[in-house]
C-alpha cells in the first residue's frame, strides 16, 4: 500500500505541502553533559532526523516533533512492533509509527532519539535517572544551538534549519522521558504529549511502600541496553542498590526519578492521554502529575479512555490524529486554531461513548461512606471485624461471590444505587486497625457489581482488537509505510468489574521514607488511596469495597500471616462524587463482542508497547 493516503478529508485540515519521499534524512550524534559509562568522553545520543527538503531549499525553518525512546532496536513501537531500519550510510529508512509520515509533509521535522545506552547511543541506561533525562535535553539544546552535534564522520552538525520549537510525544517509557525532560524547564520544548506515561518511577515500582516487582530497574536496563557486555556494570550495581528492594522506602534514588516536584519549572504545555484501566502505568501517574501541573497553571489538555496500556491512535484513531494535528499546529507553529478554547478534558465514559468536559476531575463532593458489618452506607456502625492474610487469593477470587464469606478478605456492599452515581478523581479508604505483626500489606478494591458492556482491557492489546483492514496516516515510501491495521474496542458483557485499586505497606502509613514497625497492642488509623478514576455506577448496581492483604495479582507478595482487626466506627470510604451524569453519544465504530471477561495481567510488566 506504499504511497496510498486513505485519510478522510475532514481529518487532513492542514494539507500536506512537502514530499515525504524526497525528505532529507540524516543522523546526528549529540554530545551530552555526562559520562556515566566512564570512558573519559562525554556520552552521545543519536538523533535520527527526517525533514522536508523543499523547506530547506527555500530557507524555511521548521519545528520538530520528537520521540525519545529506549525501544527502537530491542523491542519496537506500537501494536505492530516497528523498529528503526537503516540504509548503508547509517541514516534511517524506516521510522516506527506514523508521526514522520504525517507531520513531515505538513512542515515539521521528525526526530527519533535513541535514549542513552540504548540502540546506537553511548552512555548507560539509568532508567529514569539524570543520564536518561539530561541526554535527551541535550538533543533539544542542540536544536537550539546550545549543544554540539556531529555526523558519523566526525564533522560538526548544526540545526540551523530548525525553529528551535520542539514537541515531544511518546507512549509508556517514551512519554515518561518527555515528562522528565519537561521537568528540567529546558527552553525550546514547547509542548509534550505523554501517553500512558510515568511521572514518578517510585510510584511505578512501589505502591506506597509495597514492592511491585523486584530488580525491575536492572531488568529494564538489561532489556533495552545496546552497550557491550561489562561496559555498564557499575551503573547496574547502582540501580540495584538504589532501588532498595529490601525496604520499599522512598529515598534519594527515587527522588531523582520523581518529576512531580519540578512541575513548577515546566515551560511546555502538556497534553496527556491515559487509559483509565491501565494496570501497567497506573492512573496515579497521570493523576498526581496532572494535579501538580494544574497547581502551577501549566497549559494542559487530557484524554482518558476505557482501555489499559493503549495508545489513543488504536482507540479513536481519526479523532486523535485530528486533535494531535491541531495541538502541534498551535504550540509549534503558533496557529490560533481555537484548540485552547475548547473543553480541556475528553473522557470515554463507557465503551464508545465520549464526553468533552471543561476540566478534570469533575467538580465533586467528598462523600464519606461508612463501613458496617458487610455493608456500605451513610450511618456509622459499631464493632470490629477481623481477617487473616491469605496470600493464595488472586484478584478473581477476591472479588467473586460478593455475598459469600471468603477467608482472607473483607467485603462491604452498598445497597443498589437508586440513580446513576459518578465518581471522578481519587477515592480513599481510611481504616482504624490493630495488627498482630510489625507490618502487613493492605490491598483495597472498588468493584462495580452489575451487568454491563465493558471494555475487555485485560486482552493482549489492552482492550482493542486488530482488524484485517488498514488505513493510512500520511505519506508512504517503499521502505516506510504509513498504513496501519485498523482496530476496534473489545467489548464484553460481564456481571462485575474492578473499578480501581490501592495498596499500602502498613509500616509506611506515616512516612514513605521512614517506616515504623507496628505495635500489636496499639490501634492505628491509616489511609489507603485508590488509583484516580472516572466511572459511573449505573442505576441498580452495587458498589463493593474489598479489603485484603497480600496481593499476588499486582505486587511481589510478601505474606505476613497477619491478623488484622478493623474498628468499623473509625473506618470509612471517601468518594469524590460528581454530577450530573452524562454518558455521551456512541462512536460509529462497531464493538467486538467476545465471551471472555476482563482478566488482570501479570504483576511483573514492562512499560512497553
Whether residue 242 is found in the same domain as residue 368: no
Q: Which residues contact 165 (CB under 8 A, 6 or more apart)?
A: 63, 64, 188, 190, 331, 332
Of the pLDDT bands very low, low, confident and very high (cuts 50, 70, 90), residue 380 is confident
Share above pLDDT 70 across residues of the chain, in percent, rounded to a whole number = 93
Do the domain assignments include residue 493? yes
pLDDT at 100: 98
3-class SS at 435?
strand
Question: Does pLDDT of 591 surpass 70?
Answer: no
- Choosing from 278, 481, 534, 551, the catalytic residue is 278
What is the rounded average pLDDT of the residues 572-594? Answer: 69
Give the helix, strand, coil percentages of the chain, each rounded to 5.
20, 35, 45
Question: Does pLDDT of 255 surpass 90?
Answer: yes
Do the domain assignments include residue 541? yes
- Does residue 508 carry a catalytic annotation? no
Q: How far is CA 475 from CA 1, 19, 423, in A?
A: 10, 8, 43
* Rounded-to-integer distance, Cα 3 and Cα 456, Å: 35
- Number of helices (H), then strands (E), belonging to the chain: the values are 11, 31
* Rounded-to-integer distance, Cα 94 and Cα 136, Å: 21
What is the rounded average pLDDT of the residues 362-375? Answer: 96
Q: How far is CA 385 from CA 217, 381, 571, in A?
A: 39, 11, 11
What is the rounded average pLDDT of the residues 472-491? Answer: 96
404: CATH: 2.60.120.260
Question: 295-316 burial, b if ≥16 CB within 10 A, otherwise e?
Answer: eeebebbbbbbbbbbbbbbbbb
Do the domain assignments include residue 144? yes
Do the domain assignments include residue 296? no
Least trusted range by pLDDT, from 4-13, 269-278, 411-420, 590-599: 4-13
In 3D, which of 604, 583, 252, 543 has the Cα closest to residue 414? Answer: 543
pLDDT at 502: 98
Other beta carbons less than 10 A from residue 497's beta carbon:
20
Q: In this predicted model, which residue has the larger pLDDT, 535 or 9?
A: 535
pLDDT (tens digit per residue) in 171-185: 999 999 999 999 999
What is the rounded average pLDDT of the residues 194-208? Answer: 97
Residue with cell 501497567: 280
Question: Does pLDDT of 343 surpass 70?
Answer: yes
C-alpha cell, 584: 455521551
C-alpha cell, 559: 505474606
C-alpha cell, 302: 487530557
Question: Does pLDDT of 2 surpass 50?
Answer: no
- Does residue 203 carry a catalytic annotation? no
Number of folded domains in the chain? Answer: 2
pLDDT at 370: 97
pLDDT at 583: 62
Do the domain assignments include residue 216? yes
pLDDT (tens digit per residue) in 82-99: 999 999 998 999 999 999
Whether residue 561 is found in the same domain as residue 415: yes
Do the domain assignments include residue 262? no
C-alpha cell, 311: 495508545
Whether residue 583 is found in the same domain as residue 445: yes
Do the domain assignments include residue 468? yes
Are the CB atoms for 344 and 357 separated by under 8 Å?
yes
What is the rounded average pLDDT of the residues 404-433? Answer: 96
pLDDT (tens digit per residue) in 21-77: 999 999 999 999 999 999 999 999 999 999 999 999 999 999 999 999 999 999 999
- Does residue 172 carry a catalytic annotation? yes
- Choosing from 309, 508, 533, 608, the catalytic residue is 309
The alpha carbon of 269 is separated from its chain's Cα centroid by a whole number of angstroms, namely 17
- Choosing from 27, 69, 172, 571, the catalytic residue is 172
Do the domain assignments include residue 252? no
216: CATH: 3.40.50.1820
pLDDT at 220: 96
Of the pLDDT bands very low, low, confident and very high (cuts 50, 70, 90), residue 16 is confident
**What average pLDDT does the chain have?**
93
* Rounded-to-integer distance, Cα 346 and Cα 276, Å: 12
Instruction: Show the domain range for 405.
Output: 364-594
Are the CB atoms for 287 and 198 separated by under 8 Å?
no
Amino acid at each position: 500500500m506504499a504511497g496510498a493516503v486513505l485519510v478522510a478529508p475532514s481529518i487532513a485540515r492542514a494539507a500536506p505541502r512537502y514530499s515525504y519521499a524526497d525528505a532529507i534524512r540524516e543522523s546526528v550524534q549529540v554530545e551530552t553533559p555526562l559520562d556515566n559509562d566512564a570512558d573519559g568522553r562525554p556520552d552521545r545520543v543519536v538523533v535520527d532526523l527526517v525533514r522536508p527538503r523543499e523547506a530547506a531549499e527555500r530557507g524555511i525553518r521548521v519545528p520538530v516533533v520528537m520521540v525519545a525512546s529506549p525501544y527502537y532496536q530491542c523491542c519496537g513501537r506500537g501494536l505492530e512492533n516497528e523498529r528503526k531500519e537503516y540504509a548503508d550510510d547509517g541514516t534511517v529508512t524506516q521510522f516506527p509509527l506514523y508521526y514522520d509520515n504525517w507531520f513531515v509533509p505538513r512542515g515539521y521535522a521528525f526526530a527519533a532519539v535513541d535514549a542513552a545506552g540504548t540502540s546506537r547511543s553511548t552512555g548507560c541506561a539509568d532508567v529514569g535517572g539524570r543520564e536518561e533525562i539530561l541526554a535527551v535535553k541535550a538533543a533539544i539544546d542542540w536544536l537550539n544551538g546550545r549543544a554540539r552535534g556531529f555526523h558519523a564522520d566526525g564533522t560538526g552538525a548544526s540545526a540551523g534549519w530548525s525553529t528551535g520549537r520542539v514537541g515531544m510525544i511518546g507512549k509508556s517509557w517514551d512519554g515518561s522521558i518527555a515528562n522528565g525532560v519537561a521537568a528540567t524547564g529546558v527552553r525550546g520544548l514547547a509542548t509534550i504529549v505523554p501517553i500512558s506515561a510515568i511521572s514518578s518511577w517510585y510510584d511505578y515500582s512501589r505502591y506506597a511502600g509495597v514492592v511491585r516487582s523486584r530488580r525491575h530497574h536492572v531488568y529494564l536496563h538489561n532489556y533495552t541496553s545496546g552497550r557491550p557486555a561489562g561496559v555498564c556494570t557499575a551503573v547496574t550495581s547502582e540501580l540495584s542498590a538504589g532501588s532498595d528492594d529490601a525496604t520499599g522506602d522512598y529515598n534519594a534514588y527515587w527522588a531523582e526519578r520523581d518529576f512531580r516536584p519540578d512541575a513548577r519549572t515546566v515551560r511546555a504545555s502538556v497534553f496527556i492521554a491515559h487509559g483509565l484501566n491501565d494496570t501497567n502505568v497506573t492512573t496515579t501517574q497521570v493523576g498526581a502529575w496532572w494535579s501538580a501541573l494544574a497547581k502551577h497553571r501549566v497549559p494542559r489538555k487530557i484524554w482518558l479512555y476505557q482501555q489499559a496500556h493503549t495508545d489513543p491512535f488504536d482507540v479513536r484513531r481519526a479523532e486523535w490524529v485530528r486533535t494531535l494535528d491541531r495541538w502541534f499546529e498551535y504550540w509549534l507553529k503558533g496557529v490560533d486554531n481555537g484548540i485552547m478554547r475548547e473543553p480541556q478534558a475528553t473522557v470515554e465514559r463507557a465503551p464508545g461513548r465520549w464526553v468533552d468536559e471543561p476540566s478534570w476531575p469533575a467538580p465533586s463532593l467528598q462523600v464519606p461512606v461508612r463501613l458496617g458489618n458487610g455493608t456500605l452506607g451513610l450511618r456509622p456502625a459499631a464493632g470490629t471485624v477481623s481477617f487473616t492474610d491469605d496470600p493464595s487469593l488472586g484478584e478473581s477470587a477476591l472479588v467473586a461471590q460478593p455475598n459469600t464469606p471468603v477467608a482472607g478478605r473483607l467485603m462491604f456492599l452498598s445497597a443498589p444505587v437508586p440513580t446513576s452515581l459518578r465518581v471522578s478523581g481519587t477515592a480513599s479508604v481510611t481504616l482504624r486497625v490493630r495488627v498482630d505483626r510489625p507490618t502487613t500489606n493492605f490491598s483495597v478494591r472498588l468493584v462495580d457489581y452489575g451487568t454491563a458492556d465493558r471494555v475487555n482491557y485485560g486482552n493482549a492489546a489492552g482492550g482493542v482488537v486488530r482488524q484485517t483492514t488498514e488505513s493510512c496516516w500520511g505519506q508512504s515510501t517503499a521502505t516506510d509505510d504509513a498504513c496501519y491495521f485498523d482496530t476496534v474496542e473489545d467489548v464484553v458483557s460481564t456481571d462485575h468489574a474492578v473499578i480501581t485499586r490501592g495498596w499500602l505497606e502498613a509500616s509506611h502509613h506515616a512516612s514513605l521514607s521512614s517506616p515504623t514497625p507496628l505495635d500489636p497492642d496499639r490501634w492505628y488509623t491509616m489511609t489507603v488511596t485508590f488509583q484516580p478514576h472516572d466511572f459511573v455506577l449505573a442505576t441498580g448496581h452495587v458498589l463493593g469495597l474489598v479489603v485484603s492483604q497480600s496481593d499476588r495479582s499486582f505486587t511481589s507478595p510478601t505474606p505476613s500471616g497477619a491478623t488484622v482487626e478493623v474498628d468499623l466506627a473509625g473506618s470509612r470510604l471517601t468518594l469524590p462524587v460528581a454530577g450530573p451524569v452524562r454518558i455521551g453519544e456512541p462512536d460509529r465504530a462497531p464493538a467486538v463482542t467476545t465471551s471472555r471477561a476482563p482478566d488482570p495481567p501479570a504483576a511483573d510488566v514492562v512499560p512497553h508497547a
